[in-house]
Structure 1
Amino acid sequence: MDINAYIESGILELYVAGALSEKENKDVHALMQQHPEILQEVLNIEAAIVKLTASASPSDTKHILDRIKQTLGFGGKNDSKIISIAKPKYNWLTYTGWAASIILAAGLFWAMNQNKQLKYEVQTAKTQQSILEMQIADARNNLEEAHTLISVLRDENITEVPLAGQGDFANTYAKVYWDKNTQRIFLDAQGLPDPPEGKVYQVWSLKLSPLTPTSLGTIDSFTTDENKIFEIENLNESEAFGITLEPAGGSETPTMEQLYTLGVVG
């Protein structure tokens, strides 16, 4: 093995910088134990890095200047001496390459962080755009619903049916707007409290003689609907409307003990 060629290859600088793979680190460590020259070179590199680091920090330079003067023979006397300048042992070109590799790695790390930050900002912008689009769509739907409700309330052919509170729920109320032409009702349930967990309100169309209830469905979105106005299909010849509190999923027949509101078609 050519020790000098190995030392000049630059791999020892990468070893000191921690830029080698785990296998390469093991190989260098093994050669350091076998060849004192390689071990000494590693020590020299580490010492050089320490010197470079120290020189990059601000400090009192007076003692450095005094040392330079003493080395050059300017110790305050007029005598002169011939200075012998020896060729430096360290391969500074290799150190420069090592430093460049560190700078390149730092640059790549910065670029990766910038790219990650850009992706995050793009994703955040997309999310905000999606939320805005949903808000616009909801606003349009609410506006259409408002226009529909206004047209219903102004229609002379609409039948209004007040639903009064019953029994223990006398303080509750609701109102049905029945559009017989389109076979639908608009239920204003603002006078009902939020149902307990596991319970839902169920709307009933009633025939009075004999008493025959027909379910118009459950109001599953009661707690999340701010306006508490619900459009419900009604294909029946209703004589009254009622609202009961039922288990989630609804019931086949109304639970009369939980009859909240009831109103007869006038």
Structure 2
Amino acid sequence: MDKETFLASGLLEQHVLGLTDPNEEQVVAQYLERYPELREEVEDMRKAIEQYALQHAIPPPPGIKGKLLQEIDQKSAPPSSQTAATHGRITWLNIGVIGALALLCGLTALRMRSLQAENHTLQGQLITCESREKIIAFLRDPQTTPVMLEGTANAPQAAALVYWNEAKHEAMINPFSLKPLSAEEQYQIWADVDGKMVSVGLISENLEKYQELKYLPNASSLNITIEPQGGSAEPTVSRLVANHSI
């Protein structure tokens, strides 16, 4: 997976906001090591979040500072005025930082516009904010394992990220680097179960969002083929575009 494909996956934005699981963090760390210039982009995004937090920090209600100082006086020696002021500022600034999580939609959209300027063949990934909470919870689940499907000789630039959760028997795909097909064609994803290819879902025409898949236990690999619109009962192996073992 090249740099542009990695950026299109949205993992960098999730890393900045602390939404990646340990497996995804390893992937991000590898690309930050491979492409040092990405560290500057990470720093820029963090600065943007800090600026947002400062601009939208919620001021404390009237009298709250006095109440806090009174409670502190009852429990310990009074802190210096500088310490108290700093504590109050950090407390309310943290509320602004929580609000900064809303920047994820904007950061993703900004990343998509930048990628489209660099490479018109890549499509942006936009996830509706309404479904983001459910998706993020699934992605952050410790039992969810990311599986990067890489392109074959038929489509070297193809890539897709599947999230596989054995505990919940759930699966999801992010088809961020699959090229649009003709109206007569459709991507179909298959799981290799005991040597037999079983369909786990058709990938919709909207390649810019996460899509749910059918979970199959004992699957040893995942494979994406191009099939006629509506799918096939058996995979067209000659049109295999991406795959990877689980």
TM-score range, shorter chain: 0.3 to 0.5
TM-score between both structures, scaled by the size of structure 2: 0.46
Greater relative CO (CA pairs within 8 A, separation 6+)? 2
TM-score between both structures, scaled by the size of structure 1: 0.42
Mark the structure with the bigger radius of gyration. 1
